[in-house]
Chain A
């Protein structure tokens, strides 16, 4: 499973989401969109919006720290 999280360092929702992934032993790529313009555009392309965090799980896009959907998509339920 390929998990990418698009985040900014000062975003506490992002930190909550990353902590959730880490606590559930889900390896993920963390993209800091405040530093990487290209990847930021990639995030906007994928999600159709520009709020963080955005989580990409094998092409399924979750906007925001949507715990129930994240739990379902990661098969943690």
Chain B
């Protein structure tokens, strides 16, 4: 992932809580990176947020076979790094943080992240479709009684406790890091053989963090409060890991649009509804890439969407600026 992204914490906060940006792009996949490129090249102040920059659909693609102009051996992540760098060269800023919720029904839209509140005149939602499709058994029943999705919010309740973080992306790692400041012991339960966004062998070294690779979380146990998680290491029998909390950050194939909380129209599967310019029904809010129902889920389509969204956002921001000046 390199040093392009401001890391969660003070560096992120400083960028987020500064000026009002012209364009905030949520998601740094091909749609978000292309939107940022077009917006920044049009001299709009542009910031791109991503909670897990190495875990999108393109980032996890092993080899690019059909992206126009790319004939050499290139991974999805390498193509993405190029797109992001190109946008950054025109001045777009990149921040690694999670968006919790937004307020869109005003001129200065607000994006509430784990690292501060960002204000922007326009928003491009390019969150992709890697949101969760199904919950673990016990997860819903134990929400708030041991199950949480926000370590920065609820971490204080787990002081000196034992917690499990379930997931294999940068968001899971970041939340595990946050929890190590409170909990006595943190298990990071990774279903696969690696954590996305980390070179093999590279691990956050913290005395109270234990990373368990190839470990599937089968269910969350307890009633009415959590008592443990049932896990299964590859090739072994299921076993119970006693914990006081479980923070779940798994990926799926749903558009990651839940954070909009009904503030922009979605279809029945959570895809954002847009017109031909990528505009949603909310003034100054656009969607691009897999967050809307595209005819085919391909990087080239997402990138094209991002370009359209940025052009529409530019028109909106500049038109609005003129209106303000005339007042």
Contact = CB atoms under 8 A, between A and B. Distances in A.
Interface of A: 8, 10-16, 19, 33-34, 40, 44, 47-52, 63, 65, 67
A10 B145 contact: no
A16 B101 CA distance: 8
B145 A40 contact: no
Contact of A16 (B112, B114, B116, B144): B112
A63 B144 contact: yes
B157 A16 contact: no
Given A12-B113, A15-B112, A50-B145, A34 B156 contact: yes
A15 B143 contact: no
A8 B154 contact: yes
Task: Give chain B's interface residue range (CB within 8 Å of chain A).
Answer: 20 to 34
Nearest to A64: B144
23 contacts: A8-B152, A8-B154, A10-B152, A11-B150, A12-B153, A13-B153, A15-B112, A16-B100, A16-B101, A19-B110, A40-B157, A47-B144, A48-B145, A49-B144, A50-B154, A51-B143, A51-B148, A51-B150, A51-B153, A51-B154, A52-B153, A52-B154, A63-B144
Interface in B223-239: 224
Contacts of A16: 100-101, 103, 110, 112
Contact of A13 (B101, B157, B224): B101
A34 to B, nearest CB: 4
B282 interface: no
A8 B154 CA distance: 8
The 8 closest A-B pairs by CB, nearest first: A49-B144, A11-B153, A34-B156, A12-B112, A51-B144, A10-B152, A12-B100, A50-B157
B201 to A, nearest CB: 31
Interface in B148-186: 148, 150, 152-157
A6 B101 CA distance: 18
Nearest to B106: A23
B261 interface: yes
Interface of B: 100-101, 103, 110, 112-114, 116-117, 143-145, 148, 150, 152-157, 224, 261
A4 to B, nearest CB: 17
Contacts of B116: 12
B59 to A, nearest CB: 25
A47 B224 CA distance: 13
Contacts of A12: 100-101, 112-114, 116-117, 152-153
Contacts of B145: 48-50
Contacts of B152: 8, 10-12
B245 to A, nearest CB: 9
Given A8-B154, A8-B156, A50-B145, A67 B261 contact: yes
A19 B117 CA distance: 11
Contacts of A34: 155-156
A12 B115 CA distance: 8
A12 B143 CA distance: 18
B144 A14 contact: no
Contacts of B154: 8, 11, 50-52
Contacts of B155: 8, 10, 34
